[in-house]
């Protein structure tokens, strides 16, 4: 029985018929949704009063006042739109994401190790910090950071003009605290996933726990958890769009300004989404490349041998001569040594007699 038959029952005639019906219905629903979206933003959906109206070509023609008109897309052909809005917003987004990524990794590494400490006065506070910031929404962290000058004024009497928090600092702080807390759990899980035998081996040669942690456990944990770390950094990049709430001039806010000025909400949203998708796909490809690279690292190459003990090439790799072969001597023939029991029963049958049936004395 094949693995496919074990994991999946082959559908019968009725099941295949139902699957075809479900597929057709799903395609019809998807097509209906896409048509409604197109007609809605084309401002011709109000012209549909019956299913027969869908055959009218005027309904599907591009409405000059709709979102699909060519003049709605014209601003993204103008270089000034990119130099004044798109590129500065993209630069601010990448700047905030880059700074927050570095700080979040450091935050997660420190508190992830702190949660594994043998000292309770380190382990308990580290766990409390991680769980606290994991449980607070990111938007609230950004708002709380922006409110620090007000708190300093009310508690310590400092004038608000003397202590200011920029929008970039608020976004970076919120992204660092939230995503750093998530990364702390990632690092902790990666360290715990390293086999315990490696820790015991390090201790047996006299290494301290700090040396074992930094030279053996952490490198392997980072290597094994690299895809999860990069995936969380992708989330961090997308979360930087929340800076729009506090007027941080990031990519989404600048596209909103373009959409408000040019009255092209849908084209601006589509172009903005494409830019985010390209950046996130690039980071995802980076994670896949790192995972494959780490999988190939340290992988031993297969080396097959022939019947006489001579190595042969595997996957196009040349075999390495050994012993007498390197000196030019011919490989030795395999020797067939008789078993001890065969020597003791020389010339006897299984019943202890000679071949002619007589008992051997």
Q: Please provide the DSSP assignment of 194-211 as one string.
A: S-HHHHHHHHHTT--HHH
One domain, residues 111 and 181: yes
Q: Domain total for the chain?
A: 2
Domain boundary among 272, 296, 320: 296
One domain, residues 124 and 169: yes
Locus of tokens 């990666």: 190
Task: Quickly state the pLDDT bin for 159 (edges 50, 70, 90).
Answer: confident
One domain, residues 53 and 124: no
* CATH number for position 179: 1.10.3720.10
Domain boundary among 265, 296, 327: 296
Q: Does a structural domain hold residue 320?
A: no
Q: What distance in Å separates the CA atoms of residue 225 and residue 219, rounded to the nearest whole number?
A: 10
One domain, residues 100 and 206: yes
To the nearest whole number, what is the mean pLDDT of the chain? Answer: 83
pLDDT (0 to 100) of residue 307: 44
Structural domain that includes position 194? 73-296
The number of beta carbons lying within 10 Å of the beta carbon of residue 328 is 7
One domain, residues 41 and 126: no
Lowest-pLDDT choice from 39-43, 156-160, 194-198: 156-160
Q: Does a structural domain hold residue 108?
A: yes
Q: Does a structural domain hold residue 29?
A: yes
One domain, residues 57 and 77: no
Q: What distance in Å separates the CA atoms of residue 273 and residue 61, rounded to the nearest whole number?
A: 25
pLDDT over 80 (residue 297): no
Q: What distance in Å separates the CA atoms of residue 44 and residue 59, rounded to the nearest whole number?
A: 6
One domain, residues 199 and 109: yes
pLDDT over 80 (residue 144): yes
One domain, residues 115 and 258: yes
Query: Contact at 8 Å (CB) between 129 and 283?
Result: no
Q: Does a structural domain hold residue 140?
A: yes
Q: What distance in Å separates the CA atoms of residue 61 and residue 69, rounded to the nearest whole number?
A: 10
Q: Per the structure block, which two tokens stand in for 211?
A: 């040396």
One domain, residues 106 and 188: yes
DSSP characters over 66-108: STTSHHHHGGGTSHHHIIIIIHHHHHHHHHHHHHHHHHHHHHH
One domain, residues 96 and 58: no
pLDDT over 50 (residue 263): yes
One domain, residues 50 and 95: no
Percent over 70 (pLDDT), the chain: 80
pLDDT (0 to 100) of residue 335: 56
| Distances, alpha carbon 309 to alpha carbons 96, 187, 323, 328, in Å | 61, 46, 11, 15
Lowest-pLDDT choice from 168-182, 270-284, 334-348: 334-348
pLDDT (0 to 100) of residue 2: 53
Alpha helices in 115-166 (DSSP H): 120-135, 138-146, 148-156
Q: Does a structural domain hold residue 330?
A: no
Q: Per the structure block, which two tokens stand in for 147?
A: 């409110």
Q: What distance in Å separates the CA atoms of residue 172 and residue 177, rounded to the nearest whole number?
A: 9
| Range 254-276 average pLDDT | 93
pLDDT over 60 (residue 324): no
Q: Does a structural domain hold residue 259?
A: yes
One domain, residues 176 and 102: yes
Q: Does a structural domain hold residue 304?
A: no
Percent over 90 (pLDDT), the chain: 56
Task: Quickly state the pLDDT bin for 10 (edges 50, 70, 90).
Answer: confident
Domain boundary among 246, 271, 296: 296
Per-residue pLDDT reduced to its tens digit, 203-245: 899 999 889 999 999 988 888 888 889 889 999 999 999 999 9
pLDDT over 90 (residue 164): no
């Amino acid at each position: 029985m094949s693995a496919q038959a074990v994991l999946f029952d082959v559908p019968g005639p009725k099941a295949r018929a139902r699957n075809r019906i479900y597929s057709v219905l799903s395609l019809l629903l998807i097509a209906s949704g896409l048509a409604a979206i197109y007609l809605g933003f084309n401002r011709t959906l109000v012209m549909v009063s019956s299913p027969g109206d869908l055959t009218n070509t005027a309904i599907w023609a591009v409405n000059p006042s709709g979102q699909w008109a060519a003049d709605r897309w014209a601003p993204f052909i103008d270089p000034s739109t990119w130099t004044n809005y798109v590129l500065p917003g993209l630069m601010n987004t990448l700047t905030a994401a880059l700074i927050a990524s570095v700080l979040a990794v450091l935050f997660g590494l420190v508190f992830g190790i702190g949660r594994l400490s043998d000292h309770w006065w380190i382990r308990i506070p580290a766990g409390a910090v991680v769980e606290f910031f994991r449980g607070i929404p990111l938007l609230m962290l950004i708002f709380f950071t922006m409110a620090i000058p007000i708190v300093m004024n009310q508690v310590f009497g400092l004038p608000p003009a003397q202590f200011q928090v920029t929008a970039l600092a608020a976004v970076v702080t919120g992204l660092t605290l939230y995503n750093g807390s998530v990364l702390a759990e990632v690092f902790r899980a990666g360290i715990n996933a390293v086999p315990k035998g490696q820790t015991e081996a390090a201790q047996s040669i006299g290494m301290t726990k700090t040396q074992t942690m930094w030279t053996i456990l952490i490198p392997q944990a980072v290597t094994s958890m690299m895809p999860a770390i990069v995936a969380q950094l992708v989330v961090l990049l997308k979360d930087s769009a929340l800076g729009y709430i506090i007027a941080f001039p990031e990519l989404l806010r600048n596209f909103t300004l373009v959409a408000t000025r040019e009255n092209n909400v849908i084209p601006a949203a589509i172009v903005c989404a494409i830019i985010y998708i390209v950046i996130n796909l690039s980071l995802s490809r980076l994670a896949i490349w790192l995972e494959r690279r780490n999988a190939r690292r340290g992988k031993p190459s297969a080396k097959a041998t022939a019947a006489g003990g001579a190595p042969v090439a595997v996957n196009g790799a040349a075999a390495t001569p050994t012993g007498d072969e390197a000196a030019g001597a011919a490989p030795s023939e395999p020797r067939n040594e008789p078993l001890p029991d065969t020597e003791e029963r020389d010339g006897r049958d299984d019943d202890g007699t000679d071949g002619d049936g007589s008992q051997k004395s």
